[in-house]
Chain A
Amino acid sequence: MTAPLLKVRDLNVRIPTPGGVLHAVRGVNFDLMPGEMLGLVGESGSGKSVTLRSLIRLHRPPIQMTGTVEYGGKNLLDSSESKLRDVRGGRISMIFQEPMSALNPVLTVGEQIGENLREHKGLRGKAAQDRAAELLDLTGIPSPRARLADYPHQFSGGMRQRAMIAIALASEPQLLLADEPTTALDVTIQDQILRLLLRLREEMHMSVILVTHDLGVVAQTCDRVAVMYGGRLVETAGVNDLFHAPKHAYTLGLMRSLPGAGEHRRPLQPIPGGPPDLRSLPPGCPFAPRCEYVTDDCRVGEPPLLEVAPGRFSACVHYSELPALKSTPEEVGV
């Protein structure tokens, strides 16, 4: 049994707001294996981005992060600033959703790659330039050497995202955290970027945690999927298993709301209601107000995430009652 690359236990994130403390992430646990591509899925407000950023302790006070994020034998949430900085950008890199705001507008792309190279690889001058050009080439940007001197606003949307990936990969990290990297791109570009991520994962033997709300993206790229709802993980499973037979009412609902390209032309069935208010959650399963399978058992206390089958975890009381979907990832309109 290989050891997990990353072990997250009881991760809680509390955000003080004028209207009260927002308990955005409520006790998240999961493991990430080396070389694995994990998809972290959920609606907006489910806490997936907040979780991702907590992994490298990116939130600043007064936002509070508790729990353990174990990497390389240490808890990143407890480590000193300098140790954390070694990990950040060096062993664990992150790419953001909107490259136009994530890249500093007044520095050239070459300079921004160079920062990473200087900080984590100790490269300077010509060596750094060469490596930077290589990275741009790696991410599929044509005329890479010339483009080193360009500013972010001089790149098109897709190229910008590639540039951001190049920056993140400069230090050849073990783990890449990707926060909705394709959400802001149009569909054809989206496809290119995802293929790029897959290729890079292969070539550089990286693990990836991909945060997205789009099940189609998950289906295309991930090995395993973790579903979040109301600040908690409600289900984790291998991607095929998840799509074939979801073991949480919410996941099932998500599947059903996808346009199906498969055998049946069934109408879209969006999940009724809206996401829960994390400042005032009712007791019990957070999905209960919207669930068609809800019973009183669901409302008694928050159902824990349990291993309901080898490698499959679910926090649904009624997991065994849920129907299979008879669909494959391919059929789910990907």
Chain B
Amino acid sequence: MHTSYVLRRLLQIIPLFLAVMVLVFTLVHLIPGDPVSTLLGDRATPDIVARANKELGLDKPLLVQFGLFVNQLLHGNLGESINLKIPVLRLIGERLPVTLFLTVYAAVLGVAMAVPLAMLAAVRRNTWVDAVIRAVFQVGLSLPVFYVALQLLTLLGARLGWFPIGGYGENFGEHLFHLFLPALTLGLNLAAILVRTLRNSIIEVLTAEYVDFARAKGLRGSVIMTRHVLRNALIATVTLLGLNIGALIGGAVITETVFAIPGVGRLMVDAIFGRDYPVIQGLTLMFALIVSLVFLATDLIHARLDPRAELS
């Protein structure tokens, strides 16, 4: 039954975690540079750096460090940020909800834009409507996220003053308001990715036999669209959305920087540039967890929507 499937999938995350941990740990420690001298820059004398590395345990052999890290993890401790000197878990706890809010908001906006436009393009396929929709999103896809973000901020935020310039706000309402532009930026990017495949899926559905059969039954166009076409197209959307979670998170990094949002995207970038190993490791594990859960959720929703699908 479903519960055993879910349990099994959750258990499968454990070996994945292990692999991710080893990979990240090795990669991050192999890159040249260390946190202390990076932070101090030119002022770092060998003594200071040596002393700091000793305090942080960075002078121990890699295998020992890894062992300590795993041990810590098993006790539910992700260590402490070298640069910020607060526990990584606490950092993530503060910043993750922000990024999640942004990502979900962006997904909602993206789907809200992609689905109707893909449907329109599919129904009016090979006409100018279709061509325009596809061309617009093609161009949009080739524009870097950074550029779109800045344009939206300048136009809608600064010049027209409709939206606040960056920041996060203090309560739910303010979050919605402040995050609209960044969510729109990411949503447009997502919509651009979704529209093409969605359009093709919808065309596939539209030209499917069962749509003809539905027409032969004398059903109204709107009924056909919603009951027959949309539900089948929705299956494709959900899968696509789940698979593109990576793109959403990646886009969040840039958007968070431009719009000054205190999320984990920016935290990760700062951590990498600053060689803040515990934060890099902790965040990577967290990303792995989130992506795994999203994939699991996508599979479950897919199975729910499509009666033919079997959870093996």
Known: A101-B209, A104-B228, A105-B307. A58 touches B219 (CB 8 A): no
Q: Is the CB of A94 within 8 A of B216?
A: yes
Q: Mark B222-247, 1 if CB is under 8 A from A, else 0.
A: 01000110011001000000000000
Residue contact A106 to B217, C-beta cutoff 8 Å: no
Contact A104 B219 (CB under 8 A): no
Q: Which of A96, A105, A119 contacts B218 (CB 8 A)?
A: A119
Stretch at the interface among A80-88, A203-211, A293-301: A80-88
| Chain A residues with CB under 8 A of B219 | 85, 89, 115, 119
Question: Size of chain B's interface in residues, with CB distance under 8 A?
Answer: 22
Contact across chains for B214 and A119 when beta carbons are under 8 A apart: no
A120 to B220, CA, bound (A): 11
Asked if residues A106 and B306 are in contact (CB atoms below 8 Å), the reply is: yes
- Which of these, A88, A90, A102, contacts B209 with CB under 8 Å? A102
State how many angstroms separate the Cβ of B204 from the closest Cβ of chain A: 12
Q: 8 Å CB contacts to B: which residues of A228-275?
A: none
CB distance from B209 to the nearest CB of A (A): 4
Q: How far is the CB of A219 from chain B (nearest CB, A)?
A: 27
Distance in Å: Cβ of A259 to nearest Cβ of chain B? 32
**Given the complex of chains A and B, what is the CA–CA distance between A103 and B228 in angstroms?**
10
Known contacts A96-B209, A115-B219, A119-B219; A104/B214 CB under 8 A:
yes
Task: Give the contact-size bracket for chain A.
Answer: 20 to 34
B residues less than 8 Å from A101 (CB atoms): 208-210
Q: Is A116 an interface residue (CB 8 A)?
A: yes
Q: Contact partner of A116 among B215, B217, B228, CB < 8 A?
A: B217
Given A96-B209, A102-B213, A106-B231, does the pair A88, B307 have CB atoms closer than 8 Å? no
* Chain A contacts with B in 85-139, Cβ cutoff 8 A: 85-90, 93-94, 96, 98, 101-107, 115-116, 119-120
Q: Does B208 contact A58, Cβ atoms closer than 8 Å?
A: no
Q: Is the CB of A115 within 8 A of B208?
A: no
Contact of A93 among B209, B216, B306 (CB under 8 A): B216
Tell me the residues in window 135-158 of chain A with beta carbons closer than 8 Å to chain B beta carbons: 151, 153
Asked if A40 lies at the interface with its beta carbon under 8 angstroms from chain B, I say: no
Check if B305 is an interface residue, CB within 8 A of chain A. Answer: yes
B210 touches A88 (CB 8 A): no
**What separation, in Å, do the CA atoms of A153 and B21 have in the docked complex?**
43
A215 close to chain B: CB less than 8 A: no
B218 touches A86 (CB 8 A): yes
Asked, given contacts A102-B210, A106-B232, whether A115 binds B223 with beta carbons under 8 Å apart, the answer is yes
Interchain CB contact under 8 A, B235 and A106: yes
* A/B interface sample: 12 pairs, CB < 8 A: A56-B216, A58-B216, A101-B208, A101-B210, A102-B210, A104-B210, A104-B228, A104-B232, A105-B306, A106-B231, A107-B227, A115-B219
